[in-house]
């Protein structure tokens, strides 16, 4: 290949869109999932699911979407090729959120009304164990190394740590008021927990449960009561964290190794959960009150588009 042709080839490669993701958004009030193409940043399909869909996750092999239909007491199983429901999983009363274990075989589900974490066999579609936790469990996370599961309880203001192998409850830690989301760092050494009513994130040592840091968010010009920390996303290298701040309509970007707040992004109304693109160049936010998804270009450090979805977008996941 001649030099000019080689140069043109590399220029075209650089200009070619790098993203090939699909974004799935649960619309709590419409009982639907909005499917967004990352290249065009448009909604391409809407999938009807059960009543009050909230927590969603993609299977480890990227063939199925699991949707917690809280008012139907089940998890819907959606085939991502046909985009149709192909099964249901009985997972106890009012499932709100869940985490798929790294083995891909189990889901740990928060049953808000029963104060339980249900362990679900995804292949058999049955509950195998029930773990009592605090009042109104919500956020659930599994550590990447597969050893631990964490669950938050809103009313008890605790995060509960579960041994994933035995399903034994091994610790209960008091957290700031009304904890929502839990996330483990990519190396499984830290546990990040958001507290809605205090507008904070507590970072714990995942093994000792010692507090490592407390992040307090104070975006300029926003009344303190509107700063409510909810969804959390962390980059694969563990260097950045992003925190949704609810009705403040902001997302915070955090230098994760120093626990420094770098900047705030203005997004839609009542941002709830957030998700990074597969190449981590974008952040997508589910904005519950404005019925849209904000797309943030992390390289440019600015929002670039708002995408209208259904009513009450709550959960959001990205699949390649």
Rounded Cα distance between 319 and 288, Å, is 21
**Structure confidence at residue 320 (pLDDT):** 87
A 10 A CB-CB count for 111 gives 24
| Cβ neighbours of residue 258 closer than 8 Å, sequence gap 6 or more | none
Cα–Cα–Cα angle for 134, 136, 141, rounded to 5 degrees: 80
**Structure confidence at residue 263 (pLDDT):** 98
**Structure confidence at residue 147 (pLDDT):** 98
Q: Which residue has the higher pLDDT, 13 or 102?
A: 102
The pLDDT of residue 134 is above 80: yes
**Structure confidence at residue 20 (pLDDT):** 87
Longest Cα pair distance anywhere in the chain, in angstroms?
69
Assigned token pair, 108: 């740990």
**Structure confidence at residue 19 (pLDDT):** 65
Domain boundaries, the chain: 18-212+274-319
Model pTM score: 0.93
The pLDDT of residue 194 is above 50: yes
Q: How many Å from the N-terminal Cα to the C-terminal Cα in the chain? A: 32
Q: What is the mean pLDDT of residues 74-81?
A: 97
For residue range 27-54, list pLDDT tens digits in order: 999 999 999 999 999 999 999 999 999 9
Domain covering 18-212+274-319 in this structure, CATH number: 2.130.10.10
Question: What percent of the chain stands above pLDDT 90?
Answer: 93
Rounded Cα distance between 188 and 206, Å, is 7
């Amino acid at each position: 290949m001649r030099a000019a042709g080689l140069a043109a080839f590399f220029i075209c490669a650089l200009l070619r869109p790098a993203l090939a993701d699909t974004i799935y958004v649960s619309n709590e009030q419409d009982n639907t999932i909005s499917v967004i193409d990352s290249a065009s940043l448009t909604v391409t399909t809407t999938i009807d699911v059960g009543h009050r869909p909230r927590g969603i996750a993609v299977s480890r092999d990227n063939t199925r979407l699991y949707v917690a239909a809280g008012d139907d007491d089940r998890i819907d199983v959606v085939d991502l090729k046909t985009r149709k429901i192909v099964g249901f999983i009985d997972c106890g009363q009012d499932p709100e959120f869940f985490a798929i274990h790294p083995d891909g075989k189990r889901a740990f589900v928060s049953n808000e009304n029963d104060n339980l974490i249900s362990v679900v066999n995804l292949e058999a579609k049955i509950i195998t164990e029930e773990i009592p936790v605090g009042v109104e469990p919500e956020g659930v996370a599994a550590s990447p190394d597969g050893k631990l599961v964490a669950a938050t309880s809103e009313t008890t203001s605790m995060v509960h740590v579960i041994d994933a192998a035995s399903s034994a409850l091994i610790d209960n830690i008091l957290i700031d008021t009304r904890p929502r989301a839990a996330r483990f760092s990519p190396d499984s050494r830290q546990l990040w927990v958001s507290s809605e009513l205090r507008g904070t994130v507590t970072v714990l040592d995942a093994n000792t449960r010692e507090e490592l840091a407390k992040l307090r968010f104070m975006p300029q010009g926003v009344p303190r009561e509107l700063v409510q920390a909810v969804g959390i996303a962390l980059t694969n290298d563990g260097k950045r964290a992003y925190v949704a701040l609810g009705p403040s309509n902001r997302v915070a970007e955090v230098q994760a190794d120093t626990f420094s707040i770098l900047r705030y992004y203005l997004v839609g109304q009542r941002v709830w959960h957030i998700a990074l693109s597969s190449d981590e160049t974008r952040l997508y936010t589910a904005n519950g009150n404005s019925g849209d998804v904000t797309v943030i270009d992390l390289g440019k450090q600015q929002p670039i588009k708002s995408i209208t979805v259904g009513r009450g977008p709550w959960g959001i996941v990205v699949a390649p």
